[in-house]
Amino acid sequence: MGDVGRKVPERFDVIVVGAGPAGCAASYMLAKSGFKVLLLERGRGPGSKELYGGRIYAQPLRDVWPDLDKKAPIHRWVTKERFSFTWGSRVVTLEYRVGRSVSFTTYLPEMAKWMADRATEAGALLVDEVVVDDIVVRDGRVVGVRSGTDFLRADVVIDAEGVNRILLEKLGLAERLDPGKVAIGAKEVLRVGEGAINDRLGLSKKEGLAWLVAGDVTEGVPGGGFIYTMKDTISVGIVLHVGRAVEAAEKGFLRTSIHGMVEKLRLHNYFKQIWGDADVVEYGGHLTIEGGLGLVPKKLYMDGFLVVGDAAGLLLNTGYTIRGVDFAVTSGKLAAETVVEAFNVGGPTEENLSVYESKLKSSFVWRELVKHRGISEIMSDPYYFTVLPALLTSLLKKLFEADYEEPTIMDAVFEAASEEDISIAKLLLKLASVVGRV
Amino acid sequence: MSTLEKPFKIEDLLQRNIWDVDEEPHIEIPLDDQEGLKKKALALLCPAGCYTLIGDRLIFSYEGCVECGLCRIITPSDKIRWTYPRSGKGVTYRYT
Amino acid sequence: MAGYRVVVGIKWVPNTQAVRFDPKTGTLIRQGVPAIINPQDLHAIEMALRLRDAYGGEVIVITMAPPPAVQGLEHAIGMGADRAILVTDRSFAGADTLATSYVLARAINKVEREIGRVDLAVFGQETIDSSTAHIGAQVASWLGWPYIYYVKQASLSNGSLRVVRQLEDVIEEYEAKLPAVISVLAKALRPRHVSLLNKLRARTERPIITWTNKDLGLDTRCVGLKGSPTIVAKVTYLPEVPRLKKVHKAENPREAARWLLKNLLSDEKTRDLIARALWGEGSA
């Protein structure tokens, strides 16, 4: 009767929890190697719960999908990088014209769906609308997952649950997220139109712009604003260091809500000329890792178990670049390679899966995280988010807003510093420590 | 003046998303005893504005929740029950 | 088969929560708006599943919709329905409730011919996109089965159905001979969630059959736009209720209530509005 298909499987070789970039990369690689893979996703369709800044670094993704440039839903290749300091109505902007574009913009929901489609084409089975409640451990071995009253068995479970590590916490492999090590982001997507974006930002077809903003847009809280151009929309958002933001809010220093800050950025006189009165077509928020190695779990593997992507704490925010999706994809790929090799040498035992950690540690992901590990201290220090933008804008004000006589640069520096009540000695010490750390 | 030239209220922003809100809340936070809650932080930092301060009393509604997890990590774990919506409910993003 | 065979009719509707006005043009934006199972139909599925869990048998979910509705049928199987039927055909497009109920009734006849006796057909109270509440009654008419609506609870015994029906001011109990058709009261139950194993079954076993008009063989004059006598003659929007836009920051609930009452009664315009709302035009 009817088109009754395959019998319901009672077990899988691998169950991957979460159809984001890390989970999809792992599923794709494993399915391609002939493993029976189940990819579980809590949203309605893959990608439906995805939210990020707006930009992906391409090369690590090409290592998994060599046809990325031709087939993936790439909106624009980033050819212009901008960085702005804001203070009141004054803005200092630095623009860099990229020689060779290494990153592209896209909607992550769209991109994740593309990745999930690659995985299912390779033979992985995707089941959405399902929340996993527990990773099931028996005698020290991970044996499957539980959702509600349902248990499903697998030889290996790959945890790609994302930044909210509910499953890892239950397993005892991670503490509850430390507010000092995460940031909260909120963003809007504005429908501007492809032609208007190109005209107003001096971009040609398929060229994109990435723009980070620091200064009073975050009202003294460490963090910043971001602007990315998509095909015919622009993403505008704010990221705040959670620990510092909570402190500022509780002490009464912070008065504006995060969505209020996003709206202020949208309506900022300097920035709004880019999008005019474009309509907001979507709004959302997401937690993100602040960077460094601070959120890597106690263990990245167990007998029958691996952790990848945001859940593994793999994200780098240097203040001028943010890398999450490419790290996630790389970790998914390394996890898949580890599983394939483990089955060749006797199975997914703890020892065989420990190779994942060494693979990760010898990859560019880990080298980047180690290299920039000092950055998280800077990124959580309010000093750099108030004093620097204040001084810089004040300095340029002295230089450019003179009616008759311009000061010399040195005079301008000292005048600006005394006006903003900034100690030059402290500033130099702080800057020296930045150089020391990075 | 177009409505787009004034700041939107959070409800107006959230209304732009696709929702299939569950009839049962996926987050529960007891509001009879508000001791130990980071009330101002919840009210200002929840991106969806699910927390509102009225005087010094916090009120909560789960309907516009974007499932970010912020309230989970800044609230003592015995004061909040936080889960993801089941059956694919909650927010659905397209352009983020 | 021991137990009862229950058919649930569901509608795949635009997610009206996601439909909004363009602030510039004032028109509805439907682009990119996904569809969902009509929320009240989840209660119908839940009632059918409870009957099956209590008495045995099977639940078959049926919808007349374009092919993407398979996603909704998978959701229904994810909740625990045993199988699902997608009734789809280009000639069914543009149907009003009469043409829709005709197709559904004939599909139920086909279930009886090819799968076996149907004991009960269950529908939601009404849909969020048209709110007619016609379908249950019309399907019952086509089939010649008894129909009870606003059903809050149902039980089965010895070939008959007992239901509790809740109206605004009374609760009634009915008994009817099977087969019968019921519509479930809005928000009567707590629809269960999709489960991992059921959803896995939806994706692997694929217990979803597709029937087109080749399978049903219905006269094309009776289906789709051609079979739909309903004409929407005119749409009038209700006048907006004028608001005074007063905001009061109260010290406590008692003070708030007192302020509200005082303002409602002291302001002449408001008093008129209340009077008109309560007793109709001209009563002020």
String of DSSP letters for chain B: --GGGSPPPHHHHHTTSEEE--SS-SEE---S--TT--HHHHHHH-TT--EEEETTEEEE--TT-----HHHHHS-GGG-EE---STT-EEE-S--
Residues A403 and A138: their CA atoms lie apart, in Å, by 77
Helix (H, G, I), strand (E, B) or coil at A188: strand
Q: What are phi and psi of A58, to 5 degrees?
A: -80, -40
Mean pLDDT over residues B31-54, rounded? 94
DSSP A254: -
H/E element holding A306? strand A305-307
Under DSSP, the state recorded for A310 is G
Residue A77 lies in a domain: no
SS (H, E, C) chain C: CCCEEEEEECCEEECHHHCEECCCCCCEECCCCCEEECHHHHHHHHHHHHHHHHHCEEEEEEEECCHHHHHHHHHHHHHCCCEEEEECCHHHCCCCHHHHHHHHHHHHHHHHHHCCCCCEEEEECCCCCCCCCCHHHHHHHHHCCCEEEEEEEEEEECCEEEEEEECCCCEEEEEEECCEEEEECCCCCCCCCCCHHHHHHHHHCCCEEEECHHHHCCCHHHCCCCCCCCCCCCCCCCCCCCCCCCCCCCCCHHHHHHHHHHHHHHCHHHHHHHHHHHHCCCCC
CB contact under 8 A, B92 and A48: yes
Same domain, A301 and A433: no
Q: Is A51 on the interface with B (CB under 8 A)?
A: yes
Chains that touch C (3 or more CB pairs under 8 A): A, B
Residue ranges of chain C assigned to CATH 3.40.50.620:
4-222
Domain of residue A418 covers 382-437
| Residues B42 and C57 sit within 8 Å (Cβ to Cβ) | no
Which residues in B lie closer than 8 A to residue A175 (C-beta atoms)?
Answer: none
Among B87, B92, B93, B94, most C C-beta atoms within 10 A, so best to mutate, is B87
Task: For residue C123, give how far its alpha carbon lies from the nearest alpha carbon of chain A (Å).
Answer: 24
Q: What percent of chain C has pLDDT over 70?
A: 94
Whether B84 and B11 have beta carbons less than 8 Å apart is answered as: no
Token pair listed for C274: 């209340």
The answer to whether domain C4-222 has CATH 3.40.50.450 is no
A249 contacts B38? CB cut-off 8 A: yes
pLDDT in tens, C219-263: 999 999 999 999 888 888 777 777 777 888 888 889 999 988 888
Domain count, chain A: 2
How many domains, chain B?
Answer: 1
So what's the ipTM on this one? 0.97
Chain A, nearest residue to B81 by Cα: A166
Residue C198 near residue C77 (C-beta atoms within 8 A): yes
In a domain, A75, yes or no: no
What is residue A143's predicted lDDT score, i.e. its pLDDT? 98
- Let me know if residue A66 belongs to a domain: no
Sign of CA dihedral A3, A154, A129, C42: positive
Residues A295 and A181 sit within 8 Å (Cβ to Cβ): yes
For chain C, give the mean pLDDT.
91
Q: Residue A129's closest chain C neighbor by CA? A: C194
Residues of B in contact with A252 (CB under 8 A): 40
Whether C75 sits inside 8 A of B20 (CB atoms) is no
Which of B93, B79, B74, B96 lies closest to B27 in space, CA to CA? B79
User: Which of A326, A344, A377 delimits the end of a domain?
Assistant: A377
| Cα–Cα separations (whole angstroms), residue A248 to A221, A377, B38, B41 | 7, 17, 11, 8
CB contact under 8 A, A150 and C197: yes
Select from C34, C187, C194 the Cβ nearest to the Cβ of B18: C34
Burial of C75 (0-12, 13-18, 19+ CB in 10 A): buried
| CB-CB neighbors (< 8 A) of C191 in chain B | 23
CA neighbours within 13 Å on the CB side: how many for C201?
19
Cβ atoms of A220 and A209 closer than 8 Å: no
The answer to whether the CB atoms of C17 and B20 lie below 8 A apart is: yes
In the Cβ-directed half-sphere of A248, how many Cα atoms lie within 13 Å? Answer: 24
Structural domain includes residue A408: yes
Contact of B1 with chain C, judged by CB distance below 8 Å, is answered with no
pLDDT of residue C21: 64
* Angle, CA A372 vertex, CA A335 and CA A208 arms, to 5°: 80
Supply φ then ψ for residue A253, to 5 degrees: -75, -35
C17, C22, C190, best to mutate vs chain B, most B CBs in 10 Å: C17
User: Do A315 and A342 fall into the same domain?
Assistant: yes
B31 and chain A: CB distance < 8 Å anywhere? no
Q: How far is CA C223 from CA A182, A265, C9, C88, in A?
A: 58, 54, 17, 11
Please indicate whether, in this complex, the C-beta atoms of A283 and B13 are within 8 angstroms of each other. Answer: yes
Question: Count of B–C CB contacts within 8 Å?
Answer: 34
CB within 8 Å of B96: residues ≥ 6 apart: A50, A51, A52, A107, A108, A109, A187, A189, A235, A282, A284
Percentage of chain C beyond pLDDT 90 is 69
pLDDT at C284: 52
Residues A170 and A125 reside in one and the same domain: yes
Verify that A38 and A117 share a domain, yes or no.
yes
Please answer yes or no on whether B88 and A182 come within 8 Å at the CB atom: no
Domain boundary among A330, A357, A377: A377
Record the tokens describing residue B11, joined without a space. Answer: 């409800």
Give the nearest chain A residue to B88 (CA atoms): A129
Per CB-CB distance under 8 Å, the chain A contacts of C110 are none
Could you tell me the residue range of the domain that residue B77 belongs to?
3-92
Q: Do C193 and A3 touch (CB under 8 A)?
A: no
Would residue A432 count as lying in a domain? yes
User: Number of Cβ pairs closer than 8 Å across A and C?
Assistant: 66
State how far residue C194 is from chain B, nearest Cα, in angstroms.
5
Contacts of A43 in chain B (CB under 8 A): 88, 92
Residue with tokens 């997914």: A348
Tell me the nearest-neighbour CA distance from B79 into chain C, angstroms. 25
Whether residue A386 is found in the same domain as residue A370: no
Three-state SS letters, A231-242: CCEEEEEEEEEH
Location of structure tokens 């893959």: A46
Pair C36, C15: CB distance under 8 Å: yes
- Band the pLDDT of C175: cuts 50, 70, 90: very high
Q: Which residues are paired to B27 by β-bridges?
A: B82
Query: What is the chain B residue with the closest CA to A218?
Result: B45
Helix axes C70-79, C39-55, angle to 10 degrees: 40
Phi first, then psi: what are they for C117, rounded to 5°? -50, 135
Contact with chain C for residue A7, Cβ under 8 A: yes
Q: How many CB atoms sit inside 10 A of residue B52's CB? A: 14
What was the pLDDT predicted at C27?
A: 63
Structural domain contains residue A266:
no
pLDDT at A150: 97
Q: What is the pLDDT of residues C43-53, one digit of tens each?
A: 999 999 999 99
Using the Cβ of B2 and the Cβ atoms of chain C, whether some distance falls under 8 Å is answered with: yes
Query: A415: which 2 tokens?
Result: 């005048």
- Report d(CA A129, CA A431) in Å as an integer: 49
Per CB-CB distance under 8 Å, the chain A contacts of B24 are none
Interface with B, mutate which of C21, C36, C38 (most B CBs under 10 A): C36
Residue B35, chain A, CB below 8 Å: the answer is no
pLDDT at A5: 55
H/E stretch holding A79:
strand A76-87
The answer to whether C34 and A48 are in contact (CB under 8 A) is no
Rounded Cα–Cα distance for residues A127 and A38 (Å): 7
Query: What sign for the dihedral angle of Cα C193, C197, C201, C207?
Result: negative
Chain C hits for A44, Cβ within 8 Å: 34
CATH number at residue A334: 3.50.50.60
**Going residue by residue through chain A (438 aa), what tens digit of pLDDT does each one get?**
334 456 788 899 999 999 999 999 999 999 999 999 999 999 999 999 999 999 999 999 999 999 999 999 999 999 999 999 999 989 999 999 999 999 999 999 999 999 999 999 999 999 999 999 999 999 999 999 999 999 999 999 999 999 999 999 999 999 999 999 999 999 999 999 999 999 999 999 999 999 999 999 999 999 999 999 999 999 999 999 999 999 999 999 999 999 999 999 999 999 999 999 899 999 999 999 987 788 999 999 999 999 999 999 999 888 788 899 999 999 999 999 999 999 999 999 999 999 999 999 999 999 999 988 888 788 888 888 888 889 889 889 888 888 888 888 888 888 888 888 888 888 888 888 877 776
Task: Answer yes or no: is pLDDT of B3 > 90.
Answer: no
CA nearest to C36 within chain B: B20
At residue A1, the pLDDT reads 37
Domain assignment of residue A193, yes or no: no
Q: Is residue A389 domain-resident? A: yes
Q: Which residues of A touch C21 (CB under 8 A)?
A: none
